[in-house]
A and B are shown apart, each in its own frame.
Chain A
Amino acid sequence: MTAPVTPATPPSQNPQTPKVSQNPDTAGSSPLLSALRSRFRPRLRVAAAAVVLGVLLLGAPSSLDDYGIGLLSKALALGVLAVSVSVLEGYAGLPSMGQAAPFLVGAYTAGIMGQHGHDLGVVQLLCGTATGAAFAAGTGLVAIRTRGVAFLMTTLAIGELTVTVAGQWHSLTGGTDGMYGIPPVRPLPGLIQLDSDGAVYWYVLAATVVAVGLTWRVLRSPVGKLLLAGRDHEGRMRSAGHRVAVHRWLAYTGAGGLAGFGGVLMCTVNAYVSPADGSFATSALVLLAVVLGGATSPLGAMFGAGLIVATRDWLSGPFPGHGPLLLGLMFIIAVYALPNGVAGLRIRLPRDLPRDLSWLRSRRRGGPA
């Protein structure tokens, strides 16, 4: 009401209000340059992050030994899991402590398929995604009835139960000894089996790009807004007529599918699955990776997972046995230095950016972490 009212002008054509978050295509009669800038600014930021990450991931194999490449592949698989947690925590407002459970289900799916001669990577990925999603669809019926700490505890219980079942069900999973002798996969029909760490890495990287890209696209669509609104104020969503419980269940199921996808990749990298892959430690680390990366940013979550693997398994090389200590130190530093996560990092640009970015910043902060 304090703002000037311009009755005859559609809002999309008002030069004072570049539409940053939605409908960038309708930035109409404003000066061309600022329209372009406002249209591409969010994409530019994501693109910049993607380029940095892409250069790192594409350039890394040439400068790493086999162990390093294996770690990087592992980080990618964990990164997919981290993205699924960031969907739940950052968008749906559901901080899960048991997302390693569908991850484990996906990993076992791939392991069992591999042992029975189904070594096609694409088929394993699809089946692992399906079982992960089905698992989440079932457990979600219980989990999404709770909120906040209760959700944390429920998902923790689901995760622990899954690990226990995996350890007891010898005939299917090989019990706590784990599942050995899983043959390498053939990515696509007509291709040969992946015979080196480098080949596995490229396969995992390609699969990760597809999965994260798809997730990003879904989150950028109106579906992402639906989830964010439900996280912001669930009651208002109900009052507006939205079936919030259905949205949450779908988000939980989708995130379960994504975690299953990550599990398949983990199985491919390790050629081995054991209940420990889905342990509480995995869930907790990944949740922390998401906090590190910035809750509403898939790329940030990937980066957080990379940081964790790097700290725990690589940086700790010179300090054997002190991986957890290093992780702890990193978290303390991260919490103080990057309260909004890696994705909350902003490089100060000289021109008129602050006003628009300031709200993006507050938007990133939203997660219940």
Chain B
Amino acid sequence: MTDMIEVSGLTKAFGPTVAVADLDLTFAAGARHAVIGPNGAGKTTLLHLISGELRPTSGRIRYDGRDITRGGRAKRSRLGIARTFQQPTVWGSLSVSDNVALAAWPHTAARGAWRRGRYRALAEDSGRHLETVGIAALAGRPAGALSHGERRMLDIAMALAADPRVLLLDEPAAGLTEHGVERLLTALRALPPEVTVVVVEHDFAFVSELADTVTVLHDGRLLATGTPAQITADAAVRTAYLGDLRDARDAADPLDPLAAEETA
């Protein structure tokens, strides 16, 4: 497989704190690639660097063979990198369907979306994406009035509407009900196989459902990359990941679902 995104020597420091340290990582085209790690491991920072929210302190980012390190985020978005946010962000004073239409606007082939007729076509097309994430019934609501879970689904629908080649998801399952997680998984599985999905997630069950490749970050450094099965078996991962998680959220063994799958 070809590399869709390749970061080399990527470093991001906030003052004395180094969030991402000299990271070399590739995301293959069409991969379902999960990035996991304890809190503060630099996962979200990595997404911010790829999508252009943050500028790296040093290092390079290549996308589909071209260097995009210096490109702004609007430009990267138009090149085909879409993303969702840990805190789902929507345009609160507009309706749900307007949100999706505006998200699709820069990516539509049709020129002149500022004309009513063209925009209406965009708004009608938004229903497709709202159905995918299961909030079609809310199309006319103001986005500011949505619940947290609905807002997350809208955020995802907006990313899908951009017809992306690379989809970056920042903890998409956080705060969703079980039903919501299932719907999200269905939506992501329905994506065209050539779309590259990079998902940052805490929920290991979700990761194991979706990902074919898992990368573990720890203190901004690459700890391990491999298939979900390889990662579960990795001793270093278990110590780093488990130790932190026990402190953070008093959870049971987060690798359990995977382990169970393996023995089955």
Q: Is A1 an interface residue (CB 8 A)?
A: yes
- Nearest Cβ on chain B to A192's Cβ, whole angstroms: 40
Task: Identify which of A11, A17, A222, A238 gathers the most chain B CB atoms within 10 Å of its CB.
Answer: A11
- Interface 1/0 per residue, B80-91 and A, CB below 8 Å: 001101000111
Q: Which residues of B contact A11 (CB under 8 A)?
A: 97, 126-127, 130-131, 136-137, 139-140
- Nearest Cβ on chain B to A29's Cβ, whole angstroms: 14
**Are B150 and A2 in touch, CB under 8 angstroms?**
yes
Q: CB within 8 Å of B: which of A136-163?
A: none
Q: Which of A1, A225, A232 contacts B179 (CB 8 A)?
A: A1
Q: Is A196 an interface residue (CB 8 A)?
A: no
Chain A residue nearest to B145 in the complex (CB): A359
Q: CB within 8 Å of A: which of B2-28?
A: none
Q: CA of A231 to CA of B92 in the docked complex: distance in angstroms?
A: 10
| Count, chain A residues at interface, CB 8 A | 46
Task: Identify which of A9, A23, A239 gathers the most chain B CB atoms within 10 Å of its CB.
Answer: A239
Q: Which residues of B contact A10 (CB under 8 A)?
A: 124, 127, 136
- Nearest Cβ on chain A to B63's Cβ, whole angstroms: 14
**Are A18 and B140 in touch, CB under 8 angstroms?**
yes
> Helix, strand, loop or mixed for chain B's interface?
helix
Q: Which of A241-249, A300-308, A309-317 contacts B (4 or more CB under 8 A)?
A: A241-249
Q: Is B183 an interface residue (CB 8 A)?
A: yes
Chain B residue nearest to A9 in the complex (CB): B136
**Are A241 and B91 in touch, CB under 8 angstroms?**
no
Q: Which residues of A contact B105 (CB under 8 A)?
A: 226, 240-242
Q: Is B254 an interface residue (CB 8 A)?
A: no
Q: Which residues of B contact A26 (CB under 8 A)?
A: 120, 124
Q: CA of A235 to CA of B85 in the docked complex: distance in angstroms?
A: 11
Q: Is B102 an interface residue (CB 8 A)?
A: yes
- Nearest Cβ on chain B to A327's Cβ, whole angstroms: 30
Q: Which of B73, B124, B137 contacts A239 (CB 8 A)?
A: B73
Q: Is A63 an interface residue (CB 8 A)?
A: no
Q: Which residues of B contact A359 (CB under 8 A)?
A: 141-142, 144-145
Q: Which of B95, B113, B183 contacts A22 (CB 8 A)?
A: B95
Known: A18-B140, A20-B140. A238 touches B147 (CB 8 A): no
B interface residues (Cβ-Cβ under 8 A, vs A): 51, 53, 72-74, 77-78, 82-83, 85, 89-95, 97-99, 102-103, 105-107, 113-116, 119-120, 123-124, 126-127, 130-131, 134-142, 144-145, 147, 149-150, 153, 158, 162, 176-177, 179-180, 183
| Nearest 4 interchain pairs by C-beta | A11-B139, A241-B106, A241-B77, A17-B140
